[in-house]
A and B are shown apart, each in its own frame.
Chain A
C-alpha cells in the first residue's frame, strides 16, 4: 500500500512538472532519489517503483504476430524551399520556381522476426509512393536476400547513399539523368524496382549485390501490384561490387571504391513508346569516396548505351551513349557545420537533356545535348542527420542541340534550402 502511494506520489511529481506520461518514470527519478536519500525508501524499493512507473505509464506498440522480436517505427520529413529561374538564349524564359514543398514524408516500419527474417515497409506520403517494401533474410552474411520492392543496386549516390544523408540536398544531375523515370530523355535505368536482391552489406570490406528485377521503374501503388505486359516482360539484371576500408591512426580515415552494371532488355529506344521492341539499355557506373579527417570527397562516372536512343532529328535507329560524372568535395569546419561543393556534367550523346531532368524543380530550358551544374552549399547538423538544415546555391547550364550543333544555351540558377527531421 505504501509502495503504491509512493508510486502515485512520484507520478504526481512528474505531472506537476508538466511532463507527459511517457516521461513520468524518468522525471520521477529525482524524486525517488530524494526519497532514498532521506531514508523513506530503500534502493531496491526505488528500483521497483521506477520499473513499475515505466511499465504503467508508457505506451507501446503491440506487434501483430507472435514471432516478432522487435518492431521499429521510422520516419523522415524534408521540407524544401526552392527558388530557381531559367534564362533561355534567344527565346522567352519559362516561369520561375519559387515555392515551399514537402520533398519527402516517409513513414515506415521494420519488423524483425524469428529465423532472421525482416519485413521492411516505407511509404512516402509526399508522393503517395512506396520507398521500400521488401522481405529480408539475413541468415547468411554473404547471401543476405531481399524479395520485394526497393532501389536497384546501381551507383554510389543512388544505391549507396540514403536521401537522408545527401550533402547537396538532391542527388546530382548525372545520377538523376541516368536513374530517374524514363521521360524520353532520362534513361530510367535505376531507382525503384521489384525483384530479388542478393548480397553482402557491410561498412567495411567487400560488399556486393546482384539483382533480377522487373524491367520497369514504378513506385506507385498501382505499379507495385501490376502484372506487367508486352513492354516489360523481360527482367532487368543488376550488379554492384564495392570495397571499403579504413586507414590512418586508429582507423579514423576511410575510403571506398566500387562499380555497378545494369542490363535492361527491351527498355531502350527513344521515349516510352518503343519499349518491348528489342531495344536494350546497358548502364554502368564506377565510383569512389575518401574521408580524411574533416575532408570528404566522392566522385562517380556514369555511362550507358541506349539502343536507338537518340532524339528524333538523328537518323532512325541511332544509338545514344550518354556519359556523365560528378565530383563532390566537402569539409567539416566544426562538428556541426559543413561546406559542400559539387560539379556535375552530362553529355546525352544526342538523346537530349533538359535542365529540369537534372536539377529538380528547375524551369525547363528546352531539350539540349549537354548539361552541367555547380552546387555550392552548407549544412548545419543540429543533431547529426536527424535534425539538419541545408542551404545551397545552384548554377546549371544546358547547351548544344541534340544533333550536335553548338549554339543554343539555357541557364538555371537559384537557391534550394531543406530542413530535415528523421526518427
Chain B
C-alpha cells in the first residue's frame, strides 16, 4: 500500500509539471517586442502554470506558423494575404483573425530635424526614392536616408499599401529587423526617416511628423482619419480554444486593454 502511495506521489510530481501549458506565439515585431510580452507577464502572474514562447520576427512568420501548426497564436500587424489564406485552406487550416488593438504607423525623423510635417504625396515620394534630398520638402540640404522594415514585416507591406500606392521602396532604402532598430538608426542620423508603430513613436532621439496635417493618436486612428491607421491581429487556426482562447480573452479584458494603452497602442474598447 505504502509502495502504491509512493508511486502515486511520484507520478503526481512528474505529471503536474508536464501538464503545465506552454503557449507558443510567433509573428509581428510591432506586437511581439513590447505588448505581447507584457500581456504574457501579467497573464503568467494570474496563471502560474502557463509559460510562453514568444518569437517576434515579423507578421509573415506568424501567419506561416499558424499554417504550419508551429504556434498557437500568430501575431500580425497586417491582414493575411489571399495567398496565405488559400495556402492555409489547402492544408486544412482556417485562418481566424482577432483584432488585438489599433495602431497608427508614425512617420519618424531625427529629433533635431526641422521637418514638422509632410504631405502624403511627399511621404510616398521619399520612400519610393522620387525625392532624395531634404531640401525638396523644406528641410536642410542633405541626402535622405530611408529606413524601412524587412520584407517579413507586416508594417513593411502595410506601409507600402497605405503610404506608397504599393510602389517599390527606394533601392537605397535600408531594411531593418524591428521598430527599435528603426528608432535607433533614425535617432542617430540627422537625415534619417523611417516608420514605426504607435508604441514606438515616443522613444528618445526621434519625433513623429504630421501627414497631411494629422498625427497618429487615439482620436485620429479610431476615427480612421489618420491615413496610416490599421488594426493589428492575432491569427489562430479556427476559433481559438484552450489556453490560447483564454489568453486572447485576457487581451480583450479591461486589464489587457489597459496594458495595450500603457504600451502605446489604441485599445479596441
Interface set of A (CB-CB < 8 Å, partner B): 22, 25-26, 37, 43-44, 47-48, 50-51, 54-55, 58-63, 69-70, 249-250, 252
- The residue on A at minimum CB distance from B252 is A44
Contact B90–A63 (Cβ < 8 Å): yes
CA of A47 to CA of B87 in the docked complex: distance in angstroms? 18
CA of A69 to CA of B95 in the docked complex: distance in angstroms? 16
List B contacts of A55 (CB < 8 A): 85-86, 89, 94-95
For residue B80, CB closer than 8 A to chain A, the reply is: yes
For residue B96, CB closer than 8 A to chain A, the reply is: yes
> Measured between C-beta atoms, what is the minimum distance from B112 to chain A in Å?
20
> Measured between C-beta atoms, what is the minimum distance from B192 to chain A in Å?
11
For residue B48, CB closer than 8 A to chain A, the reply is: no
A-B pair number, CB within 8 angstroms: 54
Contact A60–B94 (Cβ < 8 Å): no
A51 contacts which of B87, B96, B143 (Cβ < 8 Å)?
B96
> Measured between C-beta atoms, what is the minimum distance from A39 to chain B in Å?
13
A62 contacts which of B90, B96, B174 (Cβ < 8 Å)?
B90
Pairs A–B under 8 Å by Cβ, sample size 21: A25-B82, A26-B82, A43-B99, A43-B231, A44-B98, A44-B99, A44-B268, A47-B79, A47-B97, A47-B231, A50-B97, A51-B80, A51-B97, A54-B80, A54-B86, A58-B86, A58-B89, A60-B89, A61-B90, A69-B68, A249-B143
List B contacts of A69 (CB < 8 A): 68
Contact A48–B97 (Cβ < 8 Å): yes
- The residue on A at minimum CB distance from B67 is A69
> Measured between C-beta atoms, what is the minimum distance from A97 to chain B in Å?
38
List A contacts of B99 (CB < 8 A): 43-44, 47
A70 contacts which of B79, B85, B87 (Cβ < 8 Å)?
B87
For residue B233, CB closer than 8 A to chain A, the reply is: yes
Contact A60–B98 (Cβ < 8 Å): no
- The residue on B at minimum CB distance from A63 is B90
What secondary structure prevails in chain A residues at the interface with B?
A: helix
CA of A250 to CA of B96 in the docked complex: distance in angstroms? 40
List A contacts of B89 (CB < 8 A): 55, 58, 60
List B contacts of A58 (CB < 8 A): 82, 85-86, 89
List A contacts of B174 (CB < 8 A): 250
CA of A357 to CA of B178 in the docked complex: distance in angstroms? 53
For residue B184, CB closer than 8 A to chain A, the reply is: no
For residue B242, CB closer than 8 A to chain A, the reply is: no
List B contacts of A250 (CB < 8 A): 145, 172, 174
CA of A43 to CA of B268 in the docked complex: distance in angstroms? 9
For residue B224, CB closer than 8 A to chain A, the reply is: yes
> Measured between C-beta atoms, what is the minimum distance from A93 to chain B in Å?
47
CA of A61 to CA of B90 in the docked complex: distance in angstroms? 7
CA of A70 to CA of B233 in the docked complex: distance in angstroms? 23
* Given pairs A51-B79, A51-B95, A54-B86, 15 additional interface contacts (CB within 8 A): A22-B82, A26-B82, A44-B98, A47-B231, A47-B233, A48-B97, A50-B97, A51-B85, A54-B85, A55-B94, A55-B95, A60-B87, A63-B90, A250-B172, A252-B171
